[in-house]
Structure 1
Amino acid sequence: MDGVVEDRAAPVRLVEGVALREAVDTADPAAWVALDAGVRQSGWSAGGSRWLPAWEETAAGKALTEVLSAGAVAGPLTEAQLALALCHRKGAIREAALKRASAYPELLPLVVVRCSDWAPPVRQQARRLLAELLDAEAAVRLLPLILRIGRRGRGDFVTDLAAGLLRAAAPGTLAPLCTDPHRTVRRYAYRLAVEEGHLSPTELARAAARDTDMVVQSLCADATLAAVAEGGADDDVLETLLGARGAHARAAGVTALRRAGRAERAVAFLGDRAGVVRACARYVVRQGGGDPLAWYRERCGTAGDLAPGVVSGLAECGERADADLLRALTSHPVAAVRTRAVAGLRALDVTDVERMRELLDDPAPGVVREAALALVPSARKLDDQWLMTRLGPERPRAARVAAFRLLHVHDGVVRLRAAVALIDDPDERLRHWARQVVQRWRPTADVPRGSVEVGELLDRARPLFSEYVLIRRKWEVGLKA
Structure 2
Amino acid sequence: MGAGTVREAAEGRDAARAVLRGERVGIGGVRLPAQPLGWLAFDGEVRRGSAPLGSPAAGRIEVRLCHPDGRVRAAALDAPRPPLPLVAVRCADWVPAVRGRAREVLAQALADDAAGTLIGLTPLVLRLARRERGTWARDLFAAALRADDPVLAPWWRPPRPARWWRPARAARTMTGEEPDTVLAWLRRSGDLPTRRFAAGLTLAAGAFGVRELARRACAEQDPVTAALWTDAALAAMAADGPDGAAVDFLLAGHLPLVRAAGVTALRGAGRGAEAAAFLADRSGPVRACARRLVRQEGGDPYDHCLALVTDPGRITPYAVTALVECGRTGDGPLLHALLARSGRGGDAVRAAALAGLRALELPDVALLLPLLDDPSPSVAREASLSLVPVAASLPADLLTARIAPGRPVHTRRAAHRLLHTRGGIGALRASVELLTDEDPGVRRAAAERARNLLTDPWPPALPLLDPEVGVLLDRCTGLVGENVMHNLRRALLVPDDGSGPGR
TM-score normalised by L of structure 1:
0.81
> Does the Cα contact within 8 Å between 1:204 and 1:224 map onto a contact in 2?
yes
> Does the Cα contact within 8 Å between 1:8 and 1:54 map onto a contact in 2?
no
> Does the Cα contact within 8 Å between 1:266 and 1:285 map onto a contact in 2?
yes
Structure 1 equivalent of residue 391 of structure 2? 379
Structure 1 equivalent of residue 376 of structure 2? 364
Structure 1 equivalent of residue 263 of structure 2? 254
Decide whether aligned partners of structure 1 residues 179 and 380 sit closer, same or farther in structure 2, where only a CA change above 3 A counts. same
Structure 1 equivalent of residue 166 of structure 2? none
Question: AA paired with 2:43?
Answer: D
2:20 pairs with 1:8: no
2:413 pairs with 1:406: no
Equivalent of residue 282 in structure 2, options 264, 273, 278: 273
Structure 2 equivalent of residue 217 of structure 1? 226
Shift of 1:403: 1.0
Shift of 1:54: 7.6
Decide whether aligned partners of structure 1 residues 129 and 477 sit closer, same or farther in structure 2, where only a CA change above 3 A counts. same
Structure 2 equivalent of residue 117 of structure 1? 93
Please say which of residues 202-211 and 160-169 is displaced more in the overlay.
160-169
Q: C-alpha distance in 2, partners of 1:94/1:400? A: 60
Q: Deviations over 1:37-69 (max 9, x none)?
A: 454352xxxxxxxxx5289633xx46x4xxxxx
1:118 partner SS: coil
Structure 2 equivalent of residue 151 of structure 1? 130
Q: C-alpha distance in 2, partners of 1:190/1:371? A: 45
> Does the Cα contact within 8 Å between 2:272 and 2:297 map onto a contact in 1?
yes
Question: AA paired with 1:117?
Answer: D
Structure 2 equivalent of residue 342 of structure 1? 354
Q: Deviations over 1:265-292 (max 9, x none)?
A: 2221111112222122222222222211
> Does the Cα contact within 8 Å between 1:271 and 1:313 map onto a contact in 2?
yes
Shift of 1:184: 1.7
Q: Spell out the pairing of 1:119-138 with structure 2 (5 A cutoff).
A: 119-131=95-107, 134=110, 137=115, 138=117
Question: AA paired with 2:326?
Answer: C
Structure 2 equivalent of residue 97 of structure 1? 76
1:359 partner SS: helix
Q: C-alpha distance in 2, partners of 1:432/1:170? A: 50
2:299 partner SS: coil
Question: AA paired with 1:363?
Answer: P
Structure 1 equivalent of residue 162 of structure 2? none
Decide whether aligned partners of structure 1 residues 173 and 470 sit closer, same or farther in structure 2, where only a CA change above 3 A counts. closer
2:198 pairs with 1:189: yes
Shift of 1:82: 4.3
* Identical residues among aligned pairs (%): 40
Q: Spell out the pairing of 1:15-414 with structure 2 (5 A cutoff).
A: 28-30=35-37, 32-37=39-44, 39-42=46-49, 52-53=50-51, 57-58=55-56, 61=57, 64=59, 81-98=60-77, 100=78, 104=81, 107-131=83-107, 134=110, 137=115, 138-170=117-149, 173-333=182-342, 334-414=346-426
2:221 partner SS: coil
Q: Deviations over 1:86-130 (max 9, x none)?
A: 3333210211233x25x63x6433321101113233123323544
Q: Spell out the pairing of 1:454-469 with structure 2 (5 A cutoff).
A: 454-465=466-477, 468=486
TM-score normalised by L of structure 2:
0.77
Q: Which runs of 5+ in 2 are unaligned?
A: 151-180
Q: C-alpha distance in 1, partners of 2:370/2:20? A: 67
> Does the Cα contact within 8 Å between 1:331 and 1:338 map onto a contact in 2?
yes
Q: Deviations over 1:17-37 (max 9, x none)?
A: x67998655864345435534
Decide whether aligned partners of structure 1 residues 349 and 269 sit closer, same or farther in structure 2, where only a CA change above 3 A counts. same
Shift of 1:308: 1.5
2:280 partner SS: coil
Decide whether aligned partners of structure 1 residues 337 and 457 sit closer, same or farther in structure 2, where only a CA change above 3 A counts. same
Q: Deviations over 1:339-393 (max 9, x none)?
A: 1111122223332332222322222111111111111111112111211111111
Q: C-alpha distance in 2, partners of 1:140/1:471? A: 59
Q: C-alpha distance in 1, partners of 2:183/2:409? A: 50
Q: C-alpha distance in 2, partners of 1:126/1:445? A: 58
Shift of 1:186: 0.6
Q: C-alpha distance in 2, partners of 1:41/1:449? A: 51
Please say which of residues 132-141 and 220-229 is displaced more in the overlay.
132-141
Question: AA paired with 2:75?
Answer: A
Question: AA paired with 1:219?
Answer: L
Decide whether aligned partners of structure 1 residues 128 and 408 sit closer, same or farther in structure 2, where only a CA change above 3 A counts. same
Shift of 1:335: 1.0
2:330 partner SS: helix
> Does the Cα contact within 8 Å between 1:311 and 1:337 map onto a contact in 2?
yes
> Does the Cα contact within 8 Å between 2:220 and 2:254 map onto a contact in 1?
no
Q: Which runs of 5+ in 1 are unaligned?
A: 43-51, 65-80
> Does the Cα contact within 8 Å between 1:91 and 1:122 map onto a contact in 2?
yes
Please say which of residues 381-390 and 31-40 is displaced more in the overlay.
31-40
Q: Deviations over 1:199-256 (max 9, x none)?
A: 2222222211222222222222222222222223334323322223332222222222
2:331 partner SS: helix
Question: AA paired with 2:370?
Answer: E
Question: AA paired with 1:344?
Answer: G
Q: C-alpha distance in 2, partners of 1:256/1:266? A: 10
Decide whether aligned partners of structure 1 residues 198 and 128 sit closer, same or farther in structure 2, where only a CA change above 3 A counts. same
2:446 partner SS: helix
1:85 partner SS: helix
2:212 partner SS: helix
Decide whether aligned partners of structure 1 residues 41 and 53 sit closer, same or farther in structure 2, where only a CA change above 3 A counts. farther
Q: C-alpha distance in 2, partners of 1:213/1:229? A: 24
Shift of 1:416: 3.1
Decide whether aligned partners of structure 1 residues 54 and 362 sit closer, same or farther in structure 2, where only a CA change above 3 A counts. farther
Please say which of residues 471-480 and 201-210 is displaced more in the overlay.
471-480
